[in-house]
Chain A
Amino acid sequence: MSESRTIGIRVPALARVEGEGALEIDIRGGRVESARLRIFEPPRLFEKLLEGRRYDEVPDIVARICGICPVAYQMSAVAAIEDAFGTAIEPAVRAWRRAMYCGEWIQSHALHVHLLAAPDFFGAASVLELAARHPEAVRRGLGLQRLGNDLIGLFGGRSVHPVGVRVGGFHRAPSASDVAALLPRLRAGIVDAAELIEWVGGFSLPDDDQAFVDVALRDRAEYPMYAGDIASGAGLLIPASDYETRFEEHQAPHSTALHALLDGTPYLVGPLARLNLNIDRIPPPLRALLDQVGLVLPCRNMFASVVARAAEIWLALHEAVAILEHHDSAARPSVDVEPRAGTGAAATEAPRGLLWHRYETDAAGCIVRARIVPPSSQNQARIEEDLKTSLEAYGLERPEADLRQRAEMVVRNYDPCISCATHFLDLRIRRS
């Protein structure tokens, strides 16, 4: 019988998650009484910043919301504004947006797998320690990250003035020569990605099956990235415009963020949810790789998210090659846009999960009101639920240091992007 133990676990600054977040767990009488993930997010700053801006300023503004996934924010934004204006984009542009999104998935997932997740599985405190022991794996991961960034760069890059995506299409078409230069690297990347799946597939994952509701886009024919209806493991299938009829945000008392609930319950967005809801869209070679490493879908173990991310790196590279092999550099990069008063919404799949935008516009095409629901805030309720379940299953009688480590790993499974803090060189100088 478990002891009546009362423990408070405070992790004031979570390591190896994006941005800043803190964790407070209270254990009493053999149960997790509460698990609170505190988020330090500029409260709704960007939704307010967008009010009064013209539609053509929106992509550059939203690109700055997240230093890790600017492309995702641009994609959801332009799709929502195009929905408001009734702007139909060209098929070539649709394909390019998908390919650009592939780049962001590759770079974001590669970063997370190698810098944030992998160290845990080797008892390393950081990627620096991991690099000392497994330099080849870390170099391969950085190479994949670079490849993802270069794929994004094909369409406009991630410089200090992110250009590329615009309402109606792109600012310019990628040149045939740039595409030709990148294709062989992407093909080589697929080989690296297969090796990566094998590597992460060999990680010793805790056994931690749980019940949860997957939410992801579901597209007619493709693995979802840029388009589709919103689906859930409980049979939901609604267009993005109906998001607010089923998904509600509640202010969590302990953080500035809002908890999202589907029909009143927590839910999961992100790579594992996408794979679980789109098993029939996974290319056969990838299915074979996942079978080889023993990933059975649908999967209910959040620790397998690291394998899910490696799988999506492979998938994104495969998609990008398929799209760019048919690249037409003469295709029109954008259509004329006629702004009008209206309301538009769109959901796309950011690396971390469903990203939903909604805009009300006036007759001049200026933003009257904006709503942005990021994937990480949608996962927050699920993370807190997971922590309770996971730690109780792990065993609350264990030493506090072990509980803390397990709690941090549980949070990292979700790859939460908590804020986009500023950064400065935090220097300690050794004088000899």
Chain B
Amino acid sequence: MTGGTVILGIGSPFGDDRIGWAAAEAIRAASWYGALQPRLRVVALDRPGVGLLAEMAHADQAIVIDAMRTGALPGTVRRLVTDDLDAPAPACSGHDVGVIATLHLGRALDLLPRRLALFGIEITAGDAAGAEPNFDPAPPLRAALSSVLALVHEELLASG
């Protein structure tokens, strides 16, 4: 699809790190989702690394949703655009090239859509976060999904 908007829920099978997938599911089930078809696509991705750039190529707008770790209260939701972010330390591994590093790389290579917003959902602190495969995200994160939905909807309406 050329143009339009793509929403990318990023995650991995491990506990809190599934929250991006849960957000993608919730958006597809949202009451307003159907009315925005066919110019809105929602994709859930497992540890895409720099493959994220290919997923947002050709779109006018991309919204990325992922678990984040900033030290805020679990379930805190934050909206960011790439200009808000410091470049991180050099990437540690191919699939640990997280979303932030990937977006910086995309910007350096002129591969990003015109409009891009990133929603981070704060994970549970400590070892509990994402320790087990195939466990659901912790309650504070699941509770944050309704705010995420509202923020994403606002983002979509603002871009017209």
A-side residues, CB < 8 A to B, are: 13-20, 45, 49, 64, 67-68, 107, 111-112, 115-116, 125-128, 131-132, 135, 138-139, 142, 145-146, 149, 158-160, 162, 418, 420-430
Contacts and interface: CB of A to CB of B under 8 A. Distances in A.
A32 B113 CA distance: 50
B149 interface: no
Nearest to A425: B68
Q: How large is the interface on B (under 10, 10 to 19, 20 to 34, 35 or more residues)?
A: 35 or more
A427 B111 contact: no
19 contacts: A16-B92, A49-B133, A67-B95, A112-B94, A116-B93, A127-B91, A128-B91, A128-B105, A131-B109, A138-B109, A159-B45, A420-B47, A425-B68, A425-B99, A425-B100, A427-B69, A427-B85, A428-B85, A428-B88
Contacts, number: 152
B51 interface: yes
A430 B109 contact: no
A161 B54 CA distance: 19
B130 interface: yes
Given A425-B69, A427-B69, A128 B101 contact: yes
A17 B90 CA distance: 12
A162 B44 CA distance: 12
A360 B98 CA distance: 38
Contacts of A145: 50-51, 54
Nearest to B43: A159
Contacts of B11: 160
A421 B68 CA distance: 15
A332 B91 CA distance: 43
Contacts of A426: 68-69, 88, 98, 100
Contact of A425 (B43, B90, B111, B120): B120
Nearest to A135: B109
Contacts of A111: 49-50, 94
Nearest to A64: B13
B86 A428 contact: yes
A366 to B, nearest CB: 18
B94 A115 contact: yes
